[in-house]
Amino acid sequence: MLKRLKIYWIVWQTTAKYALAELLVSRWSSLIFFVGKGARFAMTLLFLLLLKQSLAGIGGYTTDQVVVFFLTYQLTDNITQMFFRGVYTFSWEVRSGELDFYLSKPLNPLFRILTGKPDFIDASFFIPTTIFSIWLISTLHLHITSVSLITYFFLLMNTFLIAAAFHIFVICIGILTTEVDNVIMLYRDATALSRFPIDVYREPLRTILFFIVPVGLMNTLPAQFLLNLKPTTTVLLSFAIGGGFFLLSLWTWRLSLRKYTSAGG
């Protein structure tokens, strides 16, 4: 088992080195991407801070609490993109037949596809934004306890499980239709809805975003627990849905592989 894990670690390290080398080849592009991400983060934060100056609260939450929801979304989105960037180029791998090489190797192809291209731009963006977020939260009027903080990090594990499941679904759609680009961006837009607390949306969208397309469980629920607010659902149910969603994505993956026809390369 340990030997197997070591192999996966070596493979990931190797692909990470290639990804870093590719990034360093196009340094100016990487810098521009970094600036663009920073601009997006800064402008949304500016909007929230302007709201804070003008309004006492939004949808039953104080503006300070809404900032925490946004920062949680930012954190999970950043980490997810850092590790799962490989999915964004998957359509090329299907069309070119590169997927056949992944399938023929004694390595889980899902691991290779999901984690094959770690994003170091997001990794370098992660550090300053996390430091800034921690500082910002320390200046806000919030009720955070050590228990709520532990529960928050515990629920973030469920967040990444659900995020992995979403990416696996995108891969499955990519295998069946070769359409990945718009699907992955649709996932990003759906998760962007959780920049604000999901329970501000109307029904039935609220229920859909919590329990069917569980972006609410990814970002809103951990933030609710962190802030000691009344949570939309329990930790147990959240993990049950997250686990079930992940198992469904693995089943869909196996089904899509059976339907896969090689490019003949």
In the complex, which residues of this chain contact another protein (CB under 8 A)?
26, 28-30, 32-33, 35-37, 39-40, 43-44, 46-47, 50-51, 54-55, 57-59, 177, 179, 181-183, 185-186, 189-190, 192-193, 196, 200-202
In angstroms, give the least distance from the CB of 104 to another protein.
29
In angstroms, give the least distance from the CB of 200 to another protein.
4
Each as own residue / partner, the long-range contacts of residues 137-144 (CB below 8 Å, 24 or more positions apart, any chain) are: 137/67, 137/68, 137/71, 140/64, 140/67, 140/68, 141/62, 141/64, 142/64, 142/65, 142/68, 142/227, 143/227, 143/228, 144/226, 144/227, 144/228
In angstroms, give the least distance from the CB of 74 to another protein.
14
- The phi and psi torsions of 61 (rounded to 5 degrees) equal -110, 150
Given the complex with another protein, which of 13 and 26 has the nearer CB atom?
A: 26
Instruction: Report residue 206 as tokens.
Output: 């609220």
Given the complex with another protein, which of 104 and 203 has the nearer CB atom?
A: 203
In angstroms, give the least distance from the CB of 57 to another protein.
8
Given the complex with another protein, which of 192 and 235 has the nearer CB atom?
A: 192
In angstroms, give the least distance from the CB of 193 to another protein.
5
Given the complex with another protein, which of 45 and 79 has the nearer CB atom?
A: 45
Given the complex with another protein, which of 158 and 220 has the nearer CB atom?
A: 220
* Contact predicate 201/209, CB 8 Å: yes
Nearby residues of 60 by Cβ (< 8 Å), 6 or more positions away: 199, 200
Given the complex with another protein, which of 7 and 185 has the nearer CB atom?
A: 185
Helix axes 27-54, 63-84, angle to 10 degrees: 160
Integer CA distances (angstroms), 33 to 36, 38, 49, 85, 165, in order: 5, 9, 24, 14, 26
In angstroms, give the least distance from the CB of 93 to another protein.
18
